[in-house]
A and B are shown apart, each in its own frame.
Chain A
């Protein structure tokens, strides 16, 4: 049985960026994601919510094949990016990840200078022809990461020396610097203070004009604030997927209602 309950949606729907069909994920014998279908639209923020351990991160990591780095992880089903199966043998996961960037739950700046952290992706993918172009990319990305003003005087300082919140914004800037088409964020604000969180949320809203953003969040207020679409996961199933407003005001599935009113989780 398909757990997902289809919800009526506005028909002005945009292009489908990622289309996942019947996705199953196993960690060894553990069945972590069960039969998930989801359509992620271009230029939209999609939020994944659900209790801890329900498989939000796991599913998110399927979208750019980060699960390939976990030996025991096995993915079944189809995930199409712009109509192409990303698990096809011909797809190079390295190229895929340049198109589908990722920001992690724990800030993980490289032990390099702030500048080199942001320039890392552009250098690898050869996005800048010369130093001044690279400088431009770095500045633009740091501005988009809402951290430029704090670090502009110390671009040569190590990225690991920043505070947790600054580190996370640096990581967002780093991901943005490669000009991805889709940006995956796994609880990007869980280490940030309220002001930095507000800045990042603003940034996410701005990113929507160019990219498709998928954000895993623990905070339902955050999902309500930043996303247009919301997917509710429970025990590895996608319980409900639809317009954010609809999910929060008028959920169809009783489990969704229990979660958003605080009875599960």
Chain B
């Protein structure tokens, strides 16, 4: 039974449970809702909760656990002889899962009958051909043991899902019965429902946090794998970035310094563009502009923040790069060899960051109490004196926070540098040379048919981890500063 159907059925049971629970509560109170402990709807909701929470809880848990279980069972079935030299059990299992998945799709598309897909005697060559016809990815010729394993994988999964459907439905019905039996005029349905709502909200919050933890853990784990294959000191202090392709050369140099330098250089150029323009725009908007102009200009400026960064990347590649080349290239000053350069990416990224700086700074400048300005005007200060000597110093910590947030965005930005900065990892001071950044190299290390166990691919995680720690540190610092500033006035 498809899972969608299962969800619909359980929901339908829950809906019926709501109506029945409500009716039973009213009936037990002799039709007068004033005799009930809680409002009638709480009794309905109580039954609904008793159905939904255990049933969906079981469903989710089952869906999470079953693949592991099937995996380990099937993995045990693969004979030692089927694992080739230089391969591993987990790689073969990946092949098995891919085949099982392929068989599913082939059956669904009608290229293969269900009986042929699960027939242990079926011809391997023929199945492989049919899978290829169905457009399924089959990397190498499927061997007999792999096909066997894939078939039992499918069979076990199918059985598992069947049991799961029955179990979930049973739990839903049991929940309905319990909820229904509990319902009488004295039952404290409201308290139970309130508690249930609390637990649901807690679950949502936990999912968000657990996901973050999971992402960090996978980063840490893979980074650890990488450092087992490649010395950490070479990674952190290496001055050269020269990965060999697909790990076959065996002599990659994976030093992060050129990439970090590129990241920082481009970010600095971007901030040099974004901070003055953004800050001045914010000062104009908050201190000089009339409310009408402000209500138009501020959203317009914020539209800039809504443009996808890939569009900025195109802008860098197709407009800004050629423009700079005209001025600084061979036909002009002769400093620039190609359109892709630190300057190109930095300028465009700076434009992208203007709304971040201006919008945040504008809010912060507005939060400076009017009393502060009044005090300054009352002493005979002009508007620009007031802004320079009172408003900006008061807003400074917040503005620094805004700039740090913008910096962490600049460091994490990818598309603009992929398209605008070039791909050469190099340690140079010339802003008209092509350089590349940590993010751009993460992309290039993982695209293409990389072997995910090689240091050339795993280095992406180490790069990601470094970037993560860098931006996290900046964000925490920025938030700390912004918060400290808030305390001053609230």
Contact = CB atoms under 8 A, between A and B. Distances in A.
Given A111-B488, A120-B389, A97 B371 contact: no
Contacts of A110: 372, 375-376, 389-390, 393-394
B379 interface: yes
A160 interface: yes
Nearest to A160: B488
B373 A69 contact: yes
A98 B379 contact: yes
A109 B370 CA distance: 12
B374 interface: yes
B394 A97 contact: no
Interface in A116-135: 120-121, 124-125
Contacts of B390: 110-111
B223 to A, nearest CB: 43
Contacts of B376: 110, 120
Nearest to B370: A69
B374 A104 contact: yes
Contacts of A108: 369, 371-372, 374-375
At the interface, is chain B mostly helix, strand, loop or mixed? helix
Contacts of B389: 110, 120, 124
How large, as a class, is the contact surface on chain B?
20 to 34
B291 A171 contact: no
A71 B291 contact: yes
A227 interface: no
B373 to A, nearest CB: 7
A66 B369 CA distance: 16
A124 B374 contact: no
Contacts of B369: 108
A95 B291 contact: no
Contact of A94 (B373, B380, B394): B380
B379 A66 contact: no
Given A110-B393, A111-B394, A120-B389, A104 B378 contact: yes
A101 B381 CA distance: 11
A246 to B, nearest CB: 31
B330 interface: no
B385 interface: yes
B380 A106 contact: no
Nearest to B393: A111
Contact of B393 (A97, A112, A124, A175): A112
Interface string A85-119: 00000000011111101111010111110000000
Contact of B381 (A96, A109, A124): A124
Given A108-B369, A112-B393, A94 B374 contact: no
Nearest to A116: B389
- Chain A CB within 10 Å, residue with most, of B369, B379, B382: B379
Contact of B379 (A112, A160, A175): A175
Interface string B275-296: 0000000000000000100000
B91 to A, nearest CB: 63
B187 interface: no
B377 interface: yes
Interface in B355-373: 369-373
B377 A66 contact: yes
A216 to B, nearest CB: 14
Contact of B378 (A71, A102, A106, A111): A102
A178 interface: yes
Contacts of B372: 108, 110-111
Contacts of B291: 71
Contact of B380 (A69, A112, A125, A160): A125
- Chain A CB within 10 Å, residue with most, of B369, B373, B375, B389: B375
B287 to A, nearest CB: 11
Contacts of A174: 375, 379
Contact of A64 (B370, B378, B381, B393): B378
A26 B378 CA distance: 21
A179 to B, nearest CB: 11
Contacts of B375: 104, 108-110, 171, 174
Contacts of B377: 66, 69, 94, 97
Contacts of B374: 66, 69, 102, 104, 108
Contacts of A95: 380
26 contacts: A64-B378, A66-B374, A69-B374, A69-B377, A94-B380, A94-B381, A96-B380, A97-B379, A97-B380, A98-B379, A99-B380, A101-B379, A101-B380, A106-B371, A109-B375, A110-B389, A111-B390, A111-B393, A111-B394, A120-B381, A120-B389, A124-B380, A124-B381, A124-B389, A160-B488, A174-B379
Interface of A: 64, 66, 69, 71, 94-99, 101-104, 106, 108-112, 120-121, 124-125, 160, 171, 174-175, 178
Given A102-B378, A110-B372, A110-B389, 19 more contacts: A66-B374, A66-B377, A94-B377, A95-B380, A97-B378, A101-B379, A103-B378, A104-B371, A104-B374, A108-B371, A111-B372, A111-B390, A111-B394, A120-B379, A120-B381, A120-B389, A174-B379, A175-B378, A175-B379
Nearest 3 pairs of A and B residues by beta carbon: A98-B380, A102-B378, A108-B371
